[in-house]
Amino acid sequence: MIPNAKIGHIGLYRNEETLEPVQYYYKMPKNIKDKEVIILDPMLATGGSASDTINMLKKDGVKKIKFLCIIAAPEGIERLRKEHPEVHIFTACIDKELNDKGYIVPGLGDAGDRIFGTK
Through-space distance between the first and last CA atoms of the chain, rounded to whole angstroms: 30
Query: Domain residue spans in the chain?
Result: 9-116
Fold for the domain defined by 9-116: Rossmann fold (3.40.50)
- In whole angstroms, give the CA distance from residue 92 to residue 90: 7
> pLDDT band for position 87 (50/70/90)?
very high
- In whole angstroms, give the CA distance from residue 47 to residue 67: 11
Q: What is the mean pLDDT of residues 32-55?
A: 94
pLDDT digits (tens, 9 = 90+) for 110-119: 777 777 777 6
Residues classed as catalytic: 14, 18, 110, 113
pLDDT digits (tens, 9 = 90+) for 2-11: 888 999 999 9
Q: What is the mean pLDDT of residues 20-43?
A: 93
Q: Calculate the average pLDDT of the chain.
A: 91
